[in-house]
Structure 1
Protein backbone atom coordinates (compact mmCIF):
# COMPACT_ATOMS: atom_id res chain seq x y z
CA UNK A 1 0.00 0.00 0.00
CA UNK A 2 2.70 2.46 1.00
CA UNK A 3 4.86 1.48 -1.98
CA UNK A 4 1.92 1.97 -4.35
CA UNK A 5 1.30 5.44 -2.93
CA UNK A 6 5.01 6.24 -3.20
CA UNK A 7 5.10 5.15 -6.86
CA UNK A 8 2.07 7.32 -7.61
CA UNK A 9 3.68 10.31 -5.89
CA UNK A 10 6.98 9.84 -7.71
CA UNK A 11 5.22 9.51 -11.07
CA UNK A 12 3.25 12.71 -10.47
CA UNK A 13 6.38 14.58 -9.39
CA UNK A 14 8.22 13.51 -12.51
CA UNK A 15 5.36 14.50 -14.76
CA UNK A 16 4.59 17.84 -13.13
CA UNK A 17 8.05 19.00 -12.04
CA UNK A 18 10.87 17.20 -13.88
CA UNK A 19 9.34 16.66 -17.32
CA UNK A 20 8.84 20.41 -17.92
CA UNK A 21 12.57 20.90 -17.24
CA UNK A 22 13.43 18.60 -20.15
CA UNK A 23 12.28 21.11 -22.72
CA UNK A 24 14.23 22.34 -25.75
CA UNK A 25 12.84 25.83 -25.25
CA UNK A 26 15.03 26.09 -22.14
CA UNK A 27 18.73 26.71 -22.67
CA UNK A 28 21.05 23.79 -22.00
CA UNK A 29 22.82 25.55 -19.07
CA UNK A 30 19.45 26.09 -17.36
CA UNK A 31 18.43 22.48 -18.03
CA UNK A 32 21.64 21.30 -16.37
CA UNK A 33 21.00 23.44 -13.30
CA UNK A 34 17.41 22.28 -12.94
CA UNK A 35 18.22 18.60 -13.41
CA UNK A 36 21.04 18.85 -10.89
CA UNK A 37 18.52 20.07 -8.34
CA UNK A 38 15.95 17.42 -9.29
CA UNK A 39 18.43 14.61 -8.69
CA UNK A 40 19.12 15.76 -5.13
CA UNK A 41 16.30 13.47 -3.98
CA UNK A 42 18.22 10.40 -5.24
CA UNK A 43 20.29 9.40 -2.22
CA UNK A 44 23.15 6.89 -1.93
CA UNK A 45 23.09 4.22 0.78
CA UNK A 46 24.72 4.85 4.13
CA UNK A 47 28.43 4.12 4.07
CA UNK A 48 28.96 5.31 0.50
CA UNK A 49 32.23 7.10 -0.13
CA UNK A 50 33.01 9.46 -3.00
CA UNK A 51 36.44 10.54 -4.21
CA UNK A 52 37.34 12.78 -7.13
CA UNK A 53 39.99 11.39 -9.46
CA UNK A 54 40.83 11.18 -13.17
CA UNK A 55 40.97 8.32 -15.65
CA UNK A 56 42.75 8.83 -18.94
CA UNK A 57 42.47 12.59 -18.48
CA UNK A 58 38.71 12.38 -17.78
CA UNK A 59 37.38 13.72 -14.47
CA UNK A 60 35.90 10.80 -12.56
CA UNK A 61 33.95 10.19 -9.35
CA UNK A 62 35.20 7.05 -7.59
CA UNK A 63 32.34 5.49 -5.63
CA UNK A 64 32.65 2.77 -3.01
CA UNK A 65 30.34 1.13 -0.50
CA UNK A 66 31.96 -1.86 1.16
CA UNK A 67 33.68 -2.29 -2.20
CA UNK A 68 36.60 -4.43 -3.32
CA UNK A 69 39.09 -2.42 -5.40
CA UNK A 70 40.04 -5.55 -7.32
CA UNK A 71 36.72 -5.20 -9.16
CA UNK A 72 35.67 -2.18 -11.17
CA UNK A 73 32.47 -0.89 -12.72
CA UNK A 74 32.77 1.90 -15.29
CA UNK A 75 29.54 3.90 -15.13
CA UNK A 76 28.28 6.20 -17.89
CA UNK A 77 25.53 8.56 -16.75
CA UNK A 78 22.43 9.52 -18.70
CA UNK A 79 21.13 12.90 -19.77
CA UNK A 80 20.76 12.74 -23.57
CA UNK A 81 24.44 13.70 -23.98
CA UNK A 82 23.61 17.29 -22.96
CA UNK A 83 22.86 17.18 -19.20
CA UNK A 84 23.82 15.08 -16.19
CA UNK A 85 27.09 14.28 -14.46
CA UNK A 86 28.55 11.89 -11.88
CA UNK A 87 27.19 14.27 -9.23
CA UNK A 88 23.59 13.82 -10.39
CA UNK A 89 24.03 10.05 -10.26
CA UNK A 90 25.58 9.70 -6.79
CA UNK A 91 22.50 7.89 -5.50
CA UNK A 92 22.39 5.39 -8.33
CA UNK A 93 26.14 4.71 -8.38
CA UNK A 94 26.23 4.39 -4.61
CA UNK A 95 23.56 1.70 -4.72
CA UNK A 96 25.38 -0.06 -7.56
CA UNK A 97 28.62 -0.06 -5.57
CA UNK A 98 26.81 -1.68 -2.66
CA UNK A 99 24.97 -4.21 -4.86
CA UNK A 100 28.04 -5.26 -6.86
CA UNK A 101 30.79 -5.07 -4.25
CA UNK A 102 32.86 -3.34 -6.92
CA UNK A 103 34.34 0.13 -6.99
CA UNK A 104 32.32 2.28 -9.37
CA UNK A 105 34.03 4.82 -11.61
CA UNK A 106 31.51 7.39 -12.89
CA UNK A 107 33.17 9.51 -15.55
CA UNK A 108 32.34 13.12 -16.33
CA UNK A 109 32.46 12.67 -20.09
CA UNK A 110 32.23 15.75 -22.30
CA UNK A 111 28.74 16.90 -23.28
CA UNK A 112 27.13 18.46 -26.34
CA UNK A 113 26.60 21.01 -27.72
CA UNK A 114 30.14 22.17 -26.94
CA UNK A 115 31.49 18.64 -27.35
CA UNK A 116 29.40 16.62 -29.83
CA UNK A 117 30.08 13.07 -31.02
CA UNK A 118 32.61 11.44 -30.71
CA UNK A 119 33.77 13.26 -27.55
CA UNK A 120 31.70 11.17 -25.11
CA UNK A 121 32.76 7.90 -26.73
CA UNK A 122 36.42 8.95 -26.85
CA UNK A 123 36.29 9.78 -23.13
CA UNK A 124 34.69 6.42 -22.33
CA UNK A 125 37.41 4.57 -24.26
CA UNK A 126 40.14 6.58 -22.55
CA UNK A 127 38.72 5.87 -19.08
CA UNK A 128 38.28 2.16 -19.81
CA UNK A 129 41.88 1.84 -21.03
CA UNK A 130 43.07 3.69 -17.91
CA UNK A 131 41.30 1.19 -15.66
CA UNK A 132 43.03 -1.65 -17.49
CA UNK A 133 46.37 0.17 -17.18
CA UNK A 134 45.95 0.62 -13.44
CA UNK A 135 45.65 -3.13 -13.00
CA UNK A 136 41.98 -4.08 -13.15
CA UNK A 137 41.77 -6.98 -15.63
CA UNK A 138 38.98 -6.93 -18.20
CA UNK A 139 37.33 -10.01 -16.66
CA UNK A 140 36.91 -8.07 -13.40
CA UNK A 141 35.78 -4.87 -15.11
CA UNK A 142 32.15 -4.26 -16.05
CA UNK A 143 30.39 -1.38 -17.83
CA UNK A 144 26.97 0.06 -17.03
CA UNK A 145 24.99 3.13 -17.95
CA UNK A 146 21.53 4.64 -18.08
CA UNK A 147 19.65 6.30 -20.94
CA UNK A 148 22.26 7.98 -23.17
CA UNK A 149 24.87 6.34 -20.95
CA UNK A 150 23.29 2.98 -21.72
CA UNK A 151 23.63 3.59 -25.44
CA UNK A 152 27.15 4.85 -24.87
CA UNK A 153 27.99 1.68 -22.92
CA UNK A 154 26.90 -0.39 -25.90
CA UNK A 155 28.84 1.80 -28.33
CA UNK A 156 31.92 1.51 -26.10
CA UNK A 157 31.77 -2.28 -26.17
CA UNK A 158 31.36 -2.24 -29.95
CA UNK A 159 34.36 0.03 -30.40
CA UNK A 160 36.51 -2.03 -28.03
CA UNK A 161 35.60 -5.12 -30.04
CA UNK A 162 36.30 -3.39 -33.34
CA UNK A 163 39.72 -2.23 -32.08
CA UNK A 164 40.57 -5.70 -30.74
CA UNK A 165 40.80 -4.46 -27.15
CA UNK A 166 39.85 -6.61 -24.12
CA UNK A 167 36.10 -6.60 -23.58
CA UNK A 168 34.49 -5.99 -20.19
CA UNK A 169 33.00 -8.89 -18.25
CA UNK A 170 29.42 -7.66 -18.75
CA UNK A 171 27.19 -4.79 -19.80
CA UNK A 172 24.25 -3.41 -17.81
CA UNK A 173 21.96 -1.05 -19.72
CA UNK A 174 19.25 0.87 -17.86
CA UNK A 175 16.59 2.31 -20.22
CA UNK A 176 19.23 2.67 -22.94
CA UNK A 177 18.87 5.25 -25.73
CA UNK A 178 20.09 3.25 -28.70
CA UNK A 179 18.25 4.67 -31.73
CA UNK A 180 18.66 8.43 -32.16
CA UNK A 181 16.63 8.39 -35.39
CA UNK A 182 13.48 7.98 -33.26
CA UNK A 183 11.71 6.16 -36.09
CA UNK A 184 10.35 3.44 -33.79
CA UNK A 185 9.53 5.14 -30.52
CA UNK A 186 7.02 3.44 -28.23
CA UNK A 187 3.79 5.24 -27.36
CA UNK A 188 2.79 4.49 -23.76
CA UNK A 189 -0.51 5.62 -22.33
CA UNK A 190 1.46 7.95 -20.07
CA UNK A 191 5.11 8.99 -20.41
CA UNK A 192 5.95 10.55 -17.03
CA UNK A 193 9.35 11.96 -17.96
CA UNK A 194 10.56 12.16 -21.57
CA UNK A 195 9.36 14.43 -24.35
CA UNK A 196 10.15 13.47 -27.93
CA UNK A 197 10.95 17.03 -28.92
CA UNK A 198 13.55 17.18 -26.15
CA UNK A 199 15.35 14.02 -27.23
CA UNK A 200 15.03 15.11 -30.90
CA UNK A 201 16.84 18.34 -30.06
CA UNK A 202 19.44 16.53 -27.93
CA UNK A 203 20.12 14.10 -30.78
CA UNK A 204 20.64 17.03 -33.15
CA UNK A 205 23.11 18.67 -30.77
CA UNK A 206 25.03 15.45 -30.15
CA UNK A 207 25.23 14.28 -33.75
CA UNK A 208 26.23 17.72 -35.06
CA UNK A 209 25.89 16.69 -38.68
CA UNK A 210 26.87 13.04 -38.29
CA UNK A 211 24.24 10.53 -39.49
CA UNK A 212 21.91 9.59 -36.65
CA UNK A 213 22.09 5.95 -37.70
CA UNK A 214 25.89 5.83 -37.29
CA UNK A 215 26.50 2.57 -35.36
CA UNK A 216 28.52 4.31 -32.62
CA UNK A 217 25.74 6.89 -32.20
CA UNK A 218 22.75 4.55 -32.56
CA UNK A 219 24.10 1.09 -31.72
CA UNK A 220 20.90 -0.57 -32.93
CA UNK A 221 22.16 0.00 -36.47
CA UNK A 222 25.48 -1.71 -35.79
CA UNK A 223 26.85 -5.20 -35.40
CA UNK A 224 25.94 -6.46 -31.92
CA UNK A 225 27.70 -9.80 -32.22
CA UNK A 226 30.62 -10.83 -30.05
CA UNK A 227 29.75 -8.53 -27.15
CA UNK A 228 29.77 -9.32 -23.40
CA UNK A 229 26.68 -10.72 -21.64
CA UNK A 230 24.06 -8.01 -21.22
CA UNK A 231 21.31 -7.13 -18.81
CA UNK A 232 18.78 -4.61 -20.13
CA UNK A 233 16.23 -3.07 -17.77
CA UNK A 234 13.44 -0.78 -18.94
CA UNK A 235 10.12 0.57 -17.71
CA UNK A 236 6.86 -0.09 -19.54
CA UNK A 237 5.91 3.61 -19.32
CA UNK A 238 8.62 5.13 -21.50
CA UNK A 239 9.00 6.05 -25.12
CA UNK A 240 12.35 4.24 -25.24
CA UNK A 241 10.83 0.83 -24.46
CA UNK A 242 11.29 -0.24 -28.08
CA UNK A 243 14.99 0.64 -27.97
CA UNK A 244 15.51 -1.98 -25.26
CA UNK A 245 13.32 -4.63 -26.87
CA UNK A 246 14.99 -4.22 -30.27
CA UNK A 247 18.49 -4.39 -28.75
CA UNK A 248 17.63 -7.61 -26.94
CA UNK A 249 16.11 -9.14 -30.05
CA UNK A 250 19.08 -8.23 -32.26
CA UNK A 251 21.64 -9.49 -29.73
CA UNK A 252 19.84 -12.85 -29.59
CA UNK A 253 19.57 -13.02 -33.39
CA UNK A 254 23.33 -12.43 -33.64
CA UNK A 255 24.16 -15.14 -31.14
CA UNK A 256 24.77 -13.03 -28.04
CA UNK A 257 23.65 -13.41 -24.43
CA UNK A 258 21.11 -10.93 -23.13
CA UNK A 259 18.46 -10.74 -20.40
CA UNK A 260 15.66 -8.19 -20.88
CA UNK A 261 13.68 -7.10 -17.82
CA UNK A 262 10.59 -4.94 -18.40
CA UNK A 263 9.21 -3.37 -15.22
CA UNK A 264 5.50 -2.82 -15.67
CA UNK A 265 4.13 0.51 -14.54
CA UNK A 266 7.54 2.12 -14.14
CA UNK A 267 9.28 4.89 -16.03
CA UNK A 268 12.55 5.94 -17.61
CA UNK A 269 15.55 5.13 -15.36
CA UNK A 270 13.31 4.37 -12.39
CA UNK A 271 16.42 2.89 -10.70
CA UNK A 272 17.34 6.38 -9.48
CA UNK A 273 14.72 5.77 -6.76
CA UNK A 274 16.62 2.81 -5.30
CA UNK A 275 16.53 2.90 -1.52
CA UNK A 276 13.04 4.42 -1.62
CA UNK A 277 10.97 2.53 -4.17
CA UNK A 278 11.24 -1.20 -3.48
CA UNK A 279 11.02 -2.24 -7.14
CA UNK A 280 13.86 0.13 -8.00
CA UNK A 281 15.93 -1.39 -5.19
CA UNK A 282 15.10 -4.87 -6.50
CA UNK A 283 16.21 -3.84 -10.00
CA UNK A 284 19.57 -2.65 -8.67
CA UNK A 285 19.97 -5.93 -6.80
CA UNK A 286 19.26 -7.82 -10.04
CA UNK A 287 21.87 -5.68 -11.79
CA UNK A 288 24.35 -6.43 -9.02
CA UNK A 289 23.75 -10.16 -9.37
CA UNK A 290 24.27 -9.97 -13.13
CA UNK A 291 27.53 -8.06 -12.73
CA UNK A 292 28.88 -10.33 -9.99
CA UNK A 293 27.92 -13.49 -11.88
CA UNK A 294 30.06 -12.56 -14.87
CA UNK A 295 33.11 -11.26 -12.99
CA UNK A 296 36.14 -13.51 -12.63
CA UNK A 297 36.92 -14.59 -9.08
Structure 2
Protein backbone atom coordinates (compact mmCIF):
# COMPACT_ATOMS: atom_id res chain seq x y z
CA UNK A 1 0.00 0.00 0.00
CA UNK A 2 1.43 3.36 -1.02
CA UNK A 3 1.89 6.27 1.37
CA UNK A 4 -0.26 8.45 -0.89
CA UNK A 5 -3.17 6.01 -0.65
CA UNK A 6 -2.83 5.76 3.13
CA UNK A 7 -2.54 9.53 3.43
CA UNK A 8 -5.60 10.13 1.26
CA UNK A 9 -7.61 7.66 3.29
CA UNK A 10 -6.47 9.36 6.51
CA UNK A 11 -7.58 12.79 5.24
CA UNK A 12 -10.96 11.39 4.23
CA UNK A 13 -11.60 10.67 7.91
CA UNK A 14 -11.89 14.42 8.45
CA UNK A 15 -14.39 14.99 5.62
CA UNK A 16 -18.05 15.20 6.72
CA UNK A 17 -20.03 12.17 5.52
CA UNK A 18 -23.53 12.64 4.20
CA UNK A 19 -24.21 8.94 4.86
CA UNK A 20 -23.46 8.91 8.59
CA UNK A 21 -27.19 8.83 9.34
CA UNK A 22 -30.59 9.28 7.73
CA UNK A 23 -30.62 12.84 9.12
CA UNK A 24 -27.25 13.74 7.64
CA UNK A 25 -28.29 12.34 4.27
CA UNK A 26 -31.47 14.43 4.15
CA UNK A 27 -29.52 17.51 5.22
CA UNK A 28 -27.05 16.97 2.39
CA UNK A 29 -29.85 16.45 -0.13
CA UNK A 30 -31.43 19.71 0.98
CA UNK A 31 -28.14 21.53 0.36
CA UNK A 32 -27.05 19.81 -2.83
CA UNK A 33 -27.97 22.73 -5.08
CA UNK A 34 -26.89 22.12 -8.66
CA UNK A 35 -27.13 18.36 -9.04
CA UNK A 36 -24.38 17.91 -11.62
CA UNK A 37 -20.80 19.18 -11.61
CA UNK A 38 -20.02 21.09 -14.83
CA UNK A 39 -17.57 19.55 -17.26
CA UNK A 40 -14.17 21.11 -16.50
CA UNK A 41 -12.37 23.05 -19.20
CA UNK A 42 -9.43 20.69 -18.75
CA UNK A 43 -11.65 17.78 -19.78
CA UNK A 44 -12.91 19.66 -22.83
CA UNK A 45 -9.30 20.17 -23.89
CA UNK A 46 -8.59 16.43 -23.70
CA UNK A 47 -11.69 14.98 -25.41
CA UNK A 48 -14.45 16.15 -27.70
CA UNK A 49 -17.64 16.75 -25.71
CA UNK A 50 -21.13 16.43 -27.17
CA UNK A 51 -24.16 17.25 -25.03
CA UNK A 52 -27.68 16.13 -25.96
CA UNK A 53 -30.96 15.45 -24.21
CA UNK A 54 -32.79 12.13 -24.03
CA UNK A 55 -36.18 11.92 -22.29
CA UNK A 56 -35.53 15.32 -20.78
CA UNK A 57 -32.23 14.26 -19.18
CA UNK A 58 -28.72 15.41 -20.17
CA UNK A 59 -26.57 12.84 -21.95
CA UNK A 60 -22.89 13.62 -22.48
CA UNK A 61 -20.58 11.91 -24.95
CA UNK A 62 -16.78 12.04 -24.58
CA UNK A 63 -14.96 11.15 -27.81
CA UNK A 64 -11.18 10.64 -27.90
CA UNK A 65 -9.33 13.22 -29.94
CA UNK A 66 -6.78 10.63 -31.01
CA UNK A 67 -7.59 7.46 -32.86
CA UNK A 68 -11.01 6.39 -31.61
CA UNK A 69 -11.32 2.61 -31.54
CA UNK A 70 -15.03 2.54 -32.38
CA UNK A 71 -15.70 0.84 -29.05
CA UNK A 72 -18.19 2.46 -26.68
CA UNK A 73 -18.73 2.59 -22.93
CA UNK A 74 -21.98 3.71 -21.31
CA UNK A 75 -20.96 4.94 -17.86
CA UNK A 76 -23.26 5.58 -14.90
CA UNK A 77 -21.94 7.75 -12.09
CA UNK A 78 -22.25 7.03 -8.39
CA UNK A 79 -23.57 9.23 -5.62
CA UNK A 80 -25.94 7.07 -3.53
CA UNK A 81 -28.63 7.72 -6.19
CA UNK A 82 -29.12 11.06 -4.44
CA UNK A 83 -26.14 13.13 -5.62
CA UNK A 84 -25.02 14.13 -9.08
CA UNK A 85 -21.87 13.53 -11.06
CA UNK A 86 -18.66 15.03 -9.65
CA UNK A 87 -15.61 16.64 -11.17
CA UNK A 88 -13.63 13.55 -10.20
CA UNK A 89 -15.92 11.50 -12.47
CA UNK A 90 -15.33 13.76 -15.46
CA UNK A 91 -11.56 13.64 -14.94
CA UNK A 92 -11.54 9.83 -14.65
CA UNK A 93 -13.72 9.38 -17.73
CA UNK A 94 -11.59 11.75 -19.81
CA UNK A 95 -8.53 9.72 -18.83
CA UNK A 96 -10.20 6.43 -19.79
CA UNK A 97 -11.37 7.82 -23.15
CA UNK A 98 -8.01 9.33 -23.95
CA UNK A 99 -5.99 6.23 -23.05
CA UNK A 100 -8.31 3.52 -24.38
CA UNK A 101 -9.68 5.16 -27.52
CA UNK A 102 -13.19 4.27 -26.33
CA UNK A 103 -16.05 6.74 -26.75
CA UNK A 104 -17.87 7.20 -23.44
CA UNK A 105 -21.55 8.11 -23.11
CA UNK A 106 -22.72 9.42 -19.73
CA UNK A 107 -26.50 9.53 -19.09
CA UNK A 108 -27.22 11.86 -16.17
CA UNK A 109 -30.17 9.97 -14.73
CA UNK A 110 -32.62 11.64 -12.35
CA UNK A 111 -31.88 11.46 -8.63
CA UNK A 112 -33.88 10.28 -5.63
CA UNK A 113 -36.17 11.20 -4.04
CA UNK A 114 -37.60 13.01 -7.10
CA UNK A 115 -36.95 10.21 -9.57
CA UNK A 116 -37.56 6.46 -9.52
CA UNK A 117 -35.59 3.47 -10.90
CA UNK A 118 -38.20 2.92 -13.62
CA UNK A 119 -37.35 6.34 -15.06
CA UNK A 120 -33.62 5.62 -14.94
CA UNK A 121 -34.04 2.31 -16.77
CA UNK A 122 -36.29 3.88 -19.40
CA UNK A 123 -33.54 6.42 -20.04
CA UNK A 124 -30.90 3.68 -20.20
CA UNK A 125 -32.98 1.68 -22.67
CA UNK A 126 -33.04 4.56 -25.11
CA UNK A 127 -29.41 5.52 -24.57
CA UNK A 128 -28.32 1.90 -25.05
CA UNK A 129 -30.28 1.63 -28.31
CA UNK A 130 -28.72 4.86 -29.57
CA UNK A 131 -25.19 3.80 -28.66
CA UNK A 132 -25.59 0.33 -30.22
CA UNK A 133 -26.73 2.00 -33.43
CA UNK A 134 -23.75 4.40 -33.36
CA UNK A 135 -21.33 1.56 -32.63
CA UNK A 136 -22.40 -0.24 -35.81
CA UNK A 137 -21.51 -3.70 -34.55
CA UNK A 138 -18.47 -2.74 -32.52
CA UNK A 139 -18.32 -3.59 -28.79
CA UNK A 140 -20.44 -1.64 -26.31
CA UNK A 141 -19.58 -1.87 -22.60
CA UNK A 142 -21.65 -0.94 -19.56
CA UNK A 143 -19.94 0.52 -16.52
CA UNK A 144 -20.31 2.62 -13.43
CA UNK A 145 -19.14 3.28 -9.92
CA UNK A 146 -21.00 2.73 -6.65
CA UNK A 147 -24.71 3.31 -7.29
CA UNK A 148 -23.95 3.58 -11.01
CA UNK A 149 -22.29 0.18 -10.88
CA UNK A 150 -25.45 -1.35 -9.44
CA UNK A 151 -27.53 0.35 -12.11
CA UNK A 152 -25.21 -0.96 -14.85
CA UNK A 153 -25.52 -4.54 -13.57
CA UNK A 154 -29.30 -4.14 -13.32
CA UNK A 155 -29.40 -2.99 -16.94
CA UNK A 156 -27.30 -5.98 -18.01
CA UNK A 157 -29.83 -8.30 -16.37
CA UNK A 158 -32.66 -6.58 -18.24
CA UNK A 159 -30.82 -6.77 -21.55
CA UNK A 160 -30.20 -10.48 -21.03
CA UNK A 161 -33.89 -11.04 -20.28
CA UNK A 162 -35.12 -8.91 -23.18
CA UNK A 163 -37.12 -6.68 -20.83
CA UNK A 164 -35.81 -3.35 -22.12
CA UNK A 165 -38.08 -0.96 -24.02
CA UNK A 166 -37.17 0.34 -27.46
CA UNK A 167 -36.68 4.09 -27.76
CA UNK A 168 -36.48 6.76 -30.40
CA UNK A 169 -33.02 7.53 -31.78
CA UNK A 170 -33.03 11.24 -31.15
CA UNK A 171 -32.79 13.91 -28.53
CA UNK A 172 -35.84 13.37 -26.44
CA UNK A 173 -38.68 13.00 -28.93
CA UNK A 174 -41.49 10.45 -28.84
CA UNK A 175 -40.46 7.01 -27.64
CA UNK A 176 -41.65 3.68 -28.90
CA UNK A 177 -43.15 1.29 -26.36
CA UNK A 178 -42.38 -1.94 -28.18
CA UNK A 179 -40.79 -4.59 -25.97
CA UNK A 180 -37.53 -5.98 -27.31
CA UNK A 181 -37.78 -9.76 -27.49
CA UNK A 182 -35.07 -11.84 -25.76
CA UNK A 183 -31.98 -11.93 -27.96
CA UNK A 184 -32.94 -8.89 -30.05
CA UNK A 185 -30.90 -6.43 -27.97
CA UNK A 186 -27.19 -7.20 -28.30
CA UNK A 187 -25.51 -8.01 -25.01
CA UNK A 188 -22.84 -5.65 -23.68
CA UNK A 189 -19.27 -6.69 -24.42
CA UNK A 190 -18.53 -6.51 -20.71
CA UNK A 191 -19.24 -4.72 -17.45
CA UNK A 192 -16.73 -2.40 -15.77
CA UNK A 193 -17.80 -1.95 -12.13
CA UNK A 194 -15.95 0.27 -9.65
CA UNK A 195 -16.94 -0.38 -6.02
CA UNK A 196 -20.49 -1.28 -7.13
CA UNK A 197 -23.47 -0.91 -4.80
CA UNK A 198 -25.23 -4.22 -5.35
CA UNK A 199 -27.69 -4.45 -2.44
CA UNK A 200 -29.46 -1.30 -1.28
CA UNK A 201 -30.44 -3.02 1.98
CA UNK A 202 -26.78 -3.64 2.97
CA UNK A 203 -27.92 -6.75 4.80
CA UNK A 204 -24.75 -8.87 4.54
CA UNK A 205 -23.55 -9.67 8.09
CA UNK A 206 -19.91 -9.07 7.08
CA UNK A 207 -20.66 -5.38 6.48
CA UNK A 208 -20.50 -4.82 10.23
CA UNK A 209 -16.83 -5.86 10.16
CA UNK A 210 -15.86 -3.61 7.25
CA UNK A 211 -17.92 -0.53 8.17
CA UNK A 212 -15.46 0.80 10.83
CA UNK A 213 -12.65 0.71 8.23
CA UNK A 214 -14.55 2.76 5.63
CA UNK A 215 -13.64 6.47 5.75
CA UNK A 216 -16.26 7.52 3.21
CA UNK A 217 -19.55 5.68 3.70
CA UNK A 218 -21.86 5.05 6.65
CA UNK A 219 -24.39 2.23 6.62
CA UNK A 220 -27.34 4.12 8.10
CA UNK A 221 -27.27 6.91 5.52
CA UNK A 222 -26.71 4.48 2.67
CA UNK A 223 -29.73 2.40 3.67
CA UNK A 224 -31.82 5.57 3.79
CA UNK A 225 -30.59 6.55 0.32
CA UNK A 226 -31.49 3.08 -0.92
CA UNK A 227 -34.99 3.44 0.53
CA UNK A 228 -35.44 6.81 -1.18
CA UNK A 229 -34.32 5.34 -4.49
CA UNK A 230 -36.31 2.11 -4.46
CA UNK A 231 -39.60 3.77 -3.51
CA UNK A 232 -42.33 1.11 -3.69
CA UNK A 233 -39.96 -1.61 -4.93
CA UNK A 234 -38.86 -4.33 -2.55
CA UNK A 235 -35.29 -3.89 -1.32
CA UNK A 236 -34.38 -7.27 -2.83
CA UNK A 237 -35.80 -6.45 -6.27
CA UNK A 238 -32.95 -6.95 -8.80
CA UNK A 239 -33.77 -3.56 -10.32
CA UNK A 240 -32.34 -1.92 -7.20
CA UNK A 241 -30.33 -4.79 -5.70
CA UNK A 242 -29.01 -6.83 -8.64
CA UNK A 243 -27.11 -9.10 -6.26
CA UNK A 244 -30.46 -10.89 -5.72
CA UNK A 245 -31.09 -11.43 -9.41
CA UNK A 246 -30.41 -14.47 -11.56
CA UNK A 247 -26.73 -13.90 -12.41
CA UNK A 248 -26.45 -16.54 -15.11
CA UNK A 249 -25.68 -15.72 -18.72
CA UNK A 250 -24.04 -12.35 -18.17
CA UNK A 251 -21.17 -10.85 -20.17
CA UNK A 252 -17.69 -10.74 -18.59
CA UNK A 253 -17.63 -8.65 -15.41
CA UNK A 254 -14.60 -6.69 -14.19
CA UNK A 255 -14.83 -5.37 -10.62
CA UNK A 256 -12.33 -3.01 -9.00
CA UNK A 257 -12.77 -2.81 -5.25
CA UNK A 258 -10.89 -1.60 -2.16
CA UNK A 259 -10.67 -3.60 1.05
CA UNK A 260 -11.62 -0.56 3.19
CA UNK A 261 -15.01 -0.23 1.50
CA UNK A 262 -18.33 -1.09 3.17
CA UNK A 263 -19.48 -2.55 -0.15
CA UNK A 264 -16.69 -5.14 -0.28
CA UNK A 265 -18.73 -8.08 1.14
CA UNK A 266 -21.33 -7.74 -1.61
CA UNK A 267 -18.64 -7.58 -4.32
CA UNK A 268 -17.24 -10.85 -2.98
CA UNK A 269 -20.70 -12.39 -2.99
CA UNK A 270 -21.20 -11.28 -6.58
CA UNK A 271 -17.96 -12.98 -7.57
CA UNK A 272 -18.96 -16.22 -5.84
CA UNK A 273 -22.43 -16.27 -7.35
CA UNK A 274 -21.35 -15.46 -10.90
CA UNK A 275 -18.57 -18.06 -10.72
CA UNK A 276 -20.97 -20.75 -9.48
CA UNK A 277 -23.30 -19.82 -12.34
CA UNK A 278 -20.52 -20.48 -14.84
CA UNK A 279 -19.89 -16.84 -15.70
CA UNK A 280 -16.66 -14.91 -16.02
CA UNK A 281 -15.86 -12.36 -13.35
CA UNK A 282 -12.60 -10.76 -12.27
CA UNK A 283 -12.67 -9.18 -8.82
CA UNK A 284 -9.56 -7.15 -8.06
CA UNK A 285 -9.33 -6.08 -4.41
CA UNK A 286 -6.80 -3.36 -3.62
CA UNK A 287 -5.22 -3.42 -0.18
CA UNK A 288 -5.94 -0.17 1.65
CA UNK A 289 -8.30 0.98 -1.07
CA UNK A 290 -11.30 3.08 -0.07
CA UNK A 291 -14.61 3.51 -1.90
CA UNK A 292 -13.97 4.20 -5.62
CA UNK A 293 -10.26 4.73 -4.92
CA UNK A 294 -9.78 4.68 -8.71
CA UNK A 295 -10.87 8.33 -8.63
CA UNK A 296 -7.65 9.31 -6.78
CA UNK A 297 -5.20 9.27 -9.73
CA UNK A 298 -2.31 10.63 -7.68
CA UNK A 299 -2.04 7.22 -5.97
CA UNK A 300 -0.07 4.28 -7.34
CA UNK A 301 -3.07 2.00 -6.79
CA UNK A 302 -5.44 4.13 -8.86
CA UNK A 303 -2.91 4.39 -11.68
CA UNK A 304 -2.60 0.61 -11.71
CA UNK A 305 -6.38 0.16 -11.73
CA UNK A 306 -6.78 2.65 -14.57
CA UNK A 307 -4.24 0.72 -16.67
CA UNK A 308 -6.22 -2.46 -16.08
CA UNK A 309 -9.53 -0.81 -16.98
CA UNK A 310 -8.01 0.52 -20.19
CA UNK A 311 -6.86 -3.03 -21.02
CA UNK A 312 -10.33 -4.39 -20.27
CA UNK A 313 -11.92 -1.84 -22.59
CA UNK A 314 -9.45 -2.61 -25.34
CA UNK A 315 -10.23 -6.32 -24.98
What are the residue-to-residue correspondences of 1:68-79 with 2, within 5 Å?
68=68, 70-79=70-79
Quote the Cα distance in structure 2 between the aligned partners of 1:88 and 1:130: 26
Identify the range of structure 1 (53-62 vs 9-18) with the bigger mean alpha-carbon deviation: 53-62
Match of 2:300 among 245, 256, 278: 278
Q: For residue 244 of structure 1, report the CA deviation from its aligned partner.
A: 0.8
Evaluate the alpha carbon distance shift between residue 44 and residue 266 of structure 1 in structure 2; reply closer, same or farther with a 3 A threshold. Answer: farther
The structure with the largest alpha-carbon Rg is: 2
**Alignment RMSD:** 2.6
Match of 1:177 in 2: 197
Alignment-derived partner of residue 112 in structure 2:
112
Q: Is the 8 A contact 2:19 2:217 kept in 1?
A: no
| Aligned length, in residue pairs | 286
Q: What secondary structure does 1:60 align onto?
A: strand
2:233 to 184, 198, 210: 210
TM-aligned CA distance change 1:139 to 1:257, over 3 Å: farther
Find out whether 1:141 has 2:164 as its counterpart.
Answer: no
Contact 1:235/1:241 (CA < 8 Å) preserved in 2?
yes
1:259 alignment partner in structure 2: 282
Q: Which moved more, 1:10-19 or 1:236-245?
A: 10-19
Gaps of 5+ in 1: none
Counterpart-to-counterpart distance in 2, 1:246 and 1:138: 33
**Cα distance in structure 2, aligned partners of 1:227 and 1:257:** 8
Unaligned 5+ segments in structure 2 are: 163-181
Cα shift at 1:13: 2.8
Residue 118 of structure 1 aligns to a residue whose secondary structure is: helix
**Displacement after TM superposition at 1:106 (Å):** 1.1
Aligned residue in 2 for 1:81: 81
SS at match of 1:59: strand
Assess, with a 3 A threshold, how the Cα gap between structure 1 residues 34 and 161 changes in structure 2: closer, same or farther. closer
Q: Is the 8 A contact 1:175 1:232 kept in 2?
A: yes
TM-score, normalised on structure 2? Answer: 0.83
Q: Is the 8 A contact 2:19 2:221 kept in 1?
A: no
